[in-house]
């Protein structure tokens, strides 16, 4: 009996030890997985906070610089920027606006290192909201009813994007990024962007650049998508270096740095051309749509940001982006339409038979007439800048 018991114990002890080892391994694996999820979640919220802060700083910088320029305009007009002067360089408030914008761009740069580009880029619409609200308060510029509704739509769309955006990234190191850059999909995208941009610059732009608003905006958006990929790669290198893994000896870091410099330069050149020829109220929303679309496409190809999303989150991102687009267009295209909540209440309260005789002499209720009035009066005050 004793020998049988000892024999049984000899058999059971290794099994129990193996089971204990398996349980310990499973527990360690679970803890590691939880740590990774917590780390990814922390990075997401850091990136989100940086993206929102960037919009606040950039939106505020426009107001600060505008106040400095208005102050300068009340003095010697020959020193105004529109007259070719550089008097604003002596205004401390203008420099304060420049510093504020620099802080905003730095936050935006850092946000790409922590959060997916498909989250950071669409949130740039918040800077338009900040500018619109502050200009109505600090510059006495009118924000009409349609503009207010547009702001609300942008906030709604941005909230939906935050809820449904990817919470973690598939690329966490420069080594992983180097492997992703060899993917056929990414290489094909870069080749197509370069070929399309070259064709537009060489053939399309000289013929149609001054008549079609999409020409220069297409160049900015296509090259802009590559610039965001480069900024994100450079941010990843800096992030790894700060974590103790030196990346400034890695050639890929300098490749991304050179790519950022070239892409941003081309982007600024053609964006300035578009702004110089076409109305800002048209350039801003169209550029936002094209740029954000190409950035989301490029980041999904290289960084695989959408690979972990379900169908509901993909649809949610699309709906949020579409809502933000509608809000941006509404703020920009109808910002000079003279309409208020009081006028809407009058329209609603009037019987339909009397609408034809309604008197709105203090405003233009026909959008076409209003647009013609704005075209004939180039000096009319803008709602916000």
Tell me the pLDDT of the chain averaged across its residues.
77
For 195-250, the pLDDT digits (tens) are 999 999 999 999 998 888 899 999 999 999 999 899 888 988 988 888 888 888 88
Q: Is the pLDDT of residue 77 over 60?
A: no
Q: Are 238 and 113 in contact (CB under 8 A)?
A: yes
331: exposed, middle or buried (Cβ count in 10 Å: 0-12, 13-18, 19+) = buried
Q: Report the alpha-carbon distance of residue 163 to residue 301 in Å, rounded.
A: 22
User: What mean pLDDT do residues 337-346 have?
Assistant: 75
Nearest-10 crossing angle of helices 92-114, 2-73: 160
What 3 state SS string does 340-369 have? CHHHHHHHHHCCHHHHHHCCCCCCCCCHHH
Residue 349: pLDDT band with limits 50, 70, 90:
confident
Note the pLDDT of residue 189.
95
Collect all residues with Cβ–Cβ distance below 8 Å to 196 and sequence separation of at least 6: 218, 222
Q: Report the alpha-carbon distance of residue 230 to residue 227 in Å, rounded.
A: 5
Residue 332: pLDDT band with limits 50, 70, 90:
confident
Q: Considering only 8-17, 55-64, 322-331, 343-352, which range has the smallest mean pLDDT?
A: 8-17
Residue 284: how many CA atoms within 13 Å on its side-chain side? 19
Collect all residues with Cβ–Cβ distance below 8 Å to 116 and sequence separation of at least 6: 47, 165, 166, 169, 299, 303, 305
Cite the DSSP H helix spans in 166-279: 174-180, 184-199, 205-208, 213-242, 251-277
Q: Is the pLDDT of residue 9 over 90?
A: no
**pTM of structure:** 0.70
3: exposed, middle or buried (Cβ count in 10 Å: 0-12, 13-18, 19+) = exposed
Note the pLDDT of residue 197.
95
User: What mean pLDDT do residues 139-162 have?
Assistant: 85
Give Cα 111 distance to the centre of its chain: 11
How many CB atoms are closer than 10 A to CB 373? 14
Q: Is the pLDDT of residue 68 over 90?
A: no
Dihedral sign, CA of 270, 99, 129, 162?
positive
Bigger pLDDT: 266 vs 92: 266
DSSP 258-301: HHHHHHHHHHHHHHHHHHHHS-HHHHHHHHHHHHHHHHHHHHHH
User: What mean pLDDT do residues 107-127 have?
Assistant: 87
Bigger pLDDT: 338 vs 12: 338
Q: Considering only 157-166, 268-277, 341-350, which range has the smallest mean pLDDT?
A: 341-350
Residue 71: pLDDT band with limits 50, 70, 90:
confident
The CA dihedral of 370, 375, 377, 381, to the nearest 10 degrees, is 70
Residue 118: pLDDT band with limits 50, 70, 90:
confident
Nearest-10 crossing angle of helices 311-333, 280-302: 160
Q: Report the alpha-carbon distance of residue 116 to residue 114 in Å, rounded.
A: 7
Note the pLDDT of residue 40.
57
Q: Is the pLDDT of residue 54 over 80?
A: yes
How many CB atoms are closer than 10 A to CB 187? 12
């Amino acid at each position: 009996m004793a020998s049988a018991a000892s024999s049984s114990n000899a058999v059971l002890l290794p099994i129990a030890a193996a089971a204990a080892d398996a349980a310990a391994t499973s527990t360690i694996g679970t803890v590691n997985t939880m740590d990774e999820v917590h780390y990814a979640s922390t990075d997401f919220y850091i990136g989100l906070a940086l993206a929102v802060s960037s919009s606040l700083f950039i939106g505020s910088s426009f107001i600060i610089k505008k106040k400095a320029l208005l102050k300068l305009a009340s003095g010697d007009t020959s020193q105004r920027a529109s007259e070719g002067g550089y008097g604003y360089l002596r205004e401390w408030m203008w420099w304060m606006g420049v510093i504020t914008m620099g802080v905003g761009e730095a936050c935006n740069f850092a946000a790409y290192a922590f959060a997916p580009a498909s989250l950071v880029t669409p949130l740039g619409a918040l800077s338009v909201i900040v500018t619109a609200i502050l200009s109505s308060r600090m510059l006495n510029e009118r924000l009409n009813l349609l503009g207010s509704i547009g702001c609300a739509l942008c906030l709604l769309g941005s909230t939906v994007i935050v809820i449904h955006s990817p919470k973690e990234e598939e690329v966490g190191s420069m080594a992983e990024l180097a492997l992703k850059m060899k993917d056929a999909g990414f290489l094909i995208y870069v080749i197509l962007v370069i070929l399309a941009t070259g064709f537009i610059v060489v053939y399309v732009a000289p013929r149609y650049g001054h008549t079609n608003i999409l020409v220069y905006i297409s160049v900015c958006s296509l090259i802009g998508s590559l610039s965001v990929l480069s900024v994100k790669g450079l941010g990843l290198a800096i992030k790894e270096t700060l974590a103790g893994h030196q990346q400034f000896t890695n050639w890929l870091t300098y490749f991304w740095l050179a790519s950022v410099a070239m892409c941003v330069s081309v982007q600024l050149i053609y964006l300035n051309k578009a702004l110089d020829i076409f109305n800002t109220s048209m350039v801003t929303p169209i550029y936002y749509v094209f740029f954000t679309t190409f950035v989301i496409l490029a980041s999904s190809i290289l960084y695989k940001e959408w690979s972990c999303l379900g169908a509901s989150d993909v649809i949610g991102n699309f709906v949020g982006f579409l809502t933000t687009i509608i809000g941006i267009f509404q703020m920009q295209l109808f910002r000079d339409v003279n309409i208020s909540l009081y006028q809407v209440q009058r329209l609603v309260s009037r019987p339909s038979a009397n609408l034809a005789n309604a008197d709105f002499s203090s405003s233009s209720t026909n959008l076409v007439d209003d647009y013609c009035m704005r075209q004939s009066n180039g000096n009319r005050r803008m709602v916000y800048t």
